[in-house]
Amino acid sequence: MSTGGTGSRERYRAQVRAEIKQHAWEQIATAGVSALSLNKIAKRVGMSGPALYWYFASRDELITELIRDAYRSLADAVRAAVDSGADVTGLAYTVREWALHDPQRYFLIYGTPVPGYQAPDDTTEISSEIMTVLIEAFSALPVNQPPTPFDTHLEEHRNWAQGHTVPAATLHRAVSFWTRVHGVLSLELAGHFTGMKFDPALLFADEVNTLLTH
């Protein structure tokens, strides 16, 4: 029995889904994710609103796919950086380059939550791959600081660490790295440094250096 017809239909469906996601990204870049409209996207693709629901059953399903794609893109970028020999500093700049390349993609996963939307668990699993890379990178560095109250807290609540057995101080440094890197990036991408007459890249470099020397 030939499966050529089925294969062609699946390829066509994948192509249309990719086109829908591309128009969704363009709409998000213009009006933000809260304004995402499947009916408007359907017009851009050249189909009726009901027809589009054959490709994505709801707006939330489309948002979920965009979130998965964004997390996967960043996870692949940081893993590729490590595989190419990047250290913690290199990872910081990999994240910054990824964010600056497409701010709307960054804000979809690290910005304000979409009202009424609840991401499925598998998106968290993809995002945890990024933290795993950071933990591995910090595991290669010496721990020179005495334990802090937060270290003790992490030791008691480390289920999120995906089974890593590294010292709590190492987990602390990875978490601090992640929060401070995203703190600077979020402010920069949102335009909060505009008019302050300093180079955000230098601030970013200073924050990364501080994390590695303290």
pLDDT digits (tens), the chain, 214 positions: 445 567 888 888 899 999 999 999 999 888 888 888 889 999 998 988 888 989 999 999 999 999 999 999 999 999 999 999 999 999 999 999 999 999 999 999 998 888 888 888 888 888 888 888 888 888 888 766 666 676 666 666 555 555 667 777 888 888 889 999 999 999 999 999 988 888 999 999 999 988 887 6
Residue 79, pLDDT score:
94
In the chain, which segments carry CATH 1.10.10?
A: 1-57
Give the C-alpha separation, 117 to 12, whole Å: 29
Residue 142 φ then ψ, to 5°: -70, 150
Structural domain 1-57, CATH architecture: Orthogonal Bundle (1.10)
Structural domain 59-213, CATH architecture: Orthogonal Bundle (1.10)
Report residue 123 as tokens. 């998106």
In the chain, which segments carry CATH 1.10.357.10?
A: 59-213
Residue 166, pLDDT score:
74
In this prediction the pTM is 0.84
